[in-house]
Structure 1
Amino acid sequence: MIRMLIVDDEEIITDGLFDVFSQLNLDLDLYKAYSGEEALDWMNKTRVDIVLSDIRMPGMDGLELMKSIRSTWLHCKIIFLTGYNDFDYIYEATQTQGVSYLLKSEGYDRIIKVVTDAIHELENSLKFHHLIQQSREKLTTLETLAQGNYFRYLLQGARAVEELEVDFRKLGIALDPSLPVLVAVGDLQRTDMHHSFAESQETALAVKFLAETFLAERTNSLGIIDRYGGLVWLIQQTYGNGTGSDESYSRTVMFLEGQFELMQQACMESMGLTFAVTICADPCQWIQLNEVYDRVRSQQYWRAGDGVQMVQTVSFEPIETAAHSRTLREKAESLAIYLEGGGREGFLHLFNELKETAFDEPANGGPFLLELYYTIALLLLSYINRWELHDKVGTTGLMQRDLHTSWQDSFKFLQNIAESLFDLRVSVERNRAAAVIEKVRSYIDEHIGEDLSLVRLASVIHFNPSYLSRLFKQESGVNLSEYIDEVRVDKAKDLLKQDGLKIGEVGAQVGYEAPHSFTRFFKKSTGVTPLEYREILRK
């Protein structure tokens, strides 16, 4: 969804434009600010795609705001509203790419037209096939495979900086081994579940190449396809010699959140592909890479809902654990991937394939069947132990094959446990999603007179705004904005029963500082003005 921020120090202009665009059928997530400083505060909280701003404002004017926007969000379209005497300002502003202007006297129709054009430009910029082609010229598929293999090599243990420098140079890795990196992990989810290995690799490569373009504005990054078929990004800042302060890293993480959201939108529109991203907000040294990667991957398991289009940012305590083994057999490793990722269909398909191969062996019931049974049993037991599911899934007989009367019964028993784990995962995700929605509802009820913007609510539960909006609609059946309006109307009706409160005071308590805005909202929702509603109550 495109996010637009409206900025003007005159409240009546800001509120009027906000109301006009709220009533249009545009795919816009709207915010408003009454000063350049307040606008900058929004820009430091979340990605903003269009800024519609007055150019002359007390304090921070439009030109200062523009420079601050450009330091973080290069793609943001800026539209200035001006008077006849502002052309000196406009000349300076329009020397910057992505900046346009309008006279305040041109009216709403003209403003809507310019904003609509900006939306179309942003949407077209997300059509990324030509970007992929440009990136392919920089990095070949062979280099990508080599870098992926090298990443797996790095995960086996620490390497000296001198060794890393040589390897990076030979493999074309544009990262500095003496500086820390940020780690992000992407979980690709295609709408078409039936695809070959080659198609999966091609999809992952397309997203990797796309990311190089989107992340190049402020970072050096390396995208890698890991053994699970997902994507891993190792990212360094490109300013301040890459050794930024905690604040600069925080700004970089915010930049990554915004860019990954744009990538998600581009992938969905062009390929029918969704993916969830988990970003570690804490830069790590190369010696910590294996632990950080494993923890970020495991963090994706603890998500609310299905995780589609989610951008999640996590922080960890200092890492002291040792690297764990990566020597699982190839087939068992594939089963583990499906089990960890919730891939029921893939797991059962491979499970049956392995079982049928074992039963077709001449020495039926021999050592291979025994090895296969305990390999899968140990995999299931490890999963149950790791997520502490003993009280939810029975494990009696799991590691005692001789308790089963036949090999058929043995593998049927394993299949039943696996299916129970998949069912439990779906149930846990639903319960976790329900708990998140309940937390959002409670916050709305308790803060109905305060800022209830999507960005604010998302910060309460540490989700990206787009994912919260989709999750709330999915779980509740109504849009988040509609729910907030319903709560405000109900609260306003209760307050209007109190004759001692003025209409303006009631409006302020449900989030409307301007009485006329509250009156317009209440009448639109109920068909009568607040005063008329109070008169009805009296009668």
Structure 2
Amino acid sequence: MYRILVVDDEKDERKVIRFLLKKFGFELEIVEAANGKEAFEALVRNPFDILLTDVKMPFVDGMELAMQVRKRYADMEIIFFSGYDDFSFVKKALTLRADNYILKPVKPEEFKQTMTEVMENIRKHKEEQEKREVNQLFIKKHILYRLLNQTPIDVLQNEYPYLSFDFLNDYNRMILVHSDTTFLDRLFEEENECFYELIRKATLDSKYDVINLNPFQIALLFKDNSRRLITYQQAAMQIQQKIQETYGINCVLSVSDHMNSPVQLAQTYSELESYLNDRFFYSDVFIYPIDTPLKDSKEYKEDECLLEKIEKSLQQADTVELEKKITIIIQKYDKRTKTSQGYLRFLFARLLQLFFQAMPEYSKDSMNRYIELMYSYKHFSDIKQTLLEVQRKVIKRLEEEKNSPKHVIGVVKQYIIENIEKDLGLDMLAEEVYLTPGYLSDKFKQETGSGINKYIKQVRMNKAEELLSNTNMKVNNISKTIGYKNDSYFIRIFREHFGVSPKKYRDMKSA
């Protein structure tokens, strides 16, 4: 319900206004004040939607009151009413953005029309404000999503120059919630209030935002509360238990340390994901990281770095670098008696897991059998032998893949996507993969059913569509970002592809 403050030094006049408001069915909470001073005190205590004030009053007149109100409440609706049919009052009222000026004695129909217009103005203003708030909330969550997915903060600040990024400083902790099913994604589609209530109760009303990262993960970003009664680890345990009890789903949660700066968001998310790698070995543990002294050791961190490099070599099919890194890690622990057997089994099981990820044709059961062998061996030489055996299979597969047309085309497609702003051409791409232009052109068409130039155009149009829909970048900047130096040419190509100009496309999307 909206609130109106009726200000007049004559009680009978205030009664008339109250009577008319009730008569015409305006649903308003009505508060009265006998003068401007009393009215301003009421406004300071509580906000109002409408100020209906007499012009001539003792202490503080209506004009002065309106001036003070405008400084404090820029969007409040103001209506003057007075027995003075004086143009100077009307003129001054207009400079204060008064919504109307009613003469005494008040004419009921005129009053009804004025109030109807004012109420409609308030409704429209509230709707616009809600839309702005929803849009701003959407943009902020979109920014958080992109930050977590490694978009540099300065890039986002350039894309949203009108938005203050100070809100990022509010976040001090992160909990990553992971499910092996698309359960979390379904919750977002259903806008499940029960789920949000569940988190709120588990965290004792902590302030947080939820970011839907993908069908299997959400991130809970907390605004630290120094008066917390439970730790974030305890909160995570309660969330996990509540999800299990309510939905029958076993989620795993990863809890961050305190974050001091927005630039830590992406790094923290990566760390939380890496903690979840351990769940493969702990089927009955749902909260990570597992608190062990080894986690903080220099040796553990060195091994984690080496595993990351091995994973990168596998992804890039760099068999030479892969063999080097495997040799380093084997030599590091060969005949090293001071390292615990448990950690060695864990480390080399992680390596096997990376190998099997590079061989999707192998089933999870096959991988599990090898992992079980790792934990059953009594000698390190057996672990080493099994690892090298699997490594040989992986390298053979990677070499075959590297020499296949499919792999080459994959490399070319990835290069196009990552370098779309460049002046791409067949000769340049052929040089990147050490093939002749003609051979590459033929193989690309065989594998994809499309010519290279057509594929480049499609990638550029997809990127243009994304930037027009999700950013406020100018059309000429988008043109350069996707590799078109000539804006007119880009607009023509875009119109041919989508049937409308870039500007029209953006307008349609935002409508």
Do the structures match in fold with TM over 0.5? no
User: Which structure's relative contact order is higher, taking Cα pairs within 8 Å and 6+ residues apart?
Assistant: 1
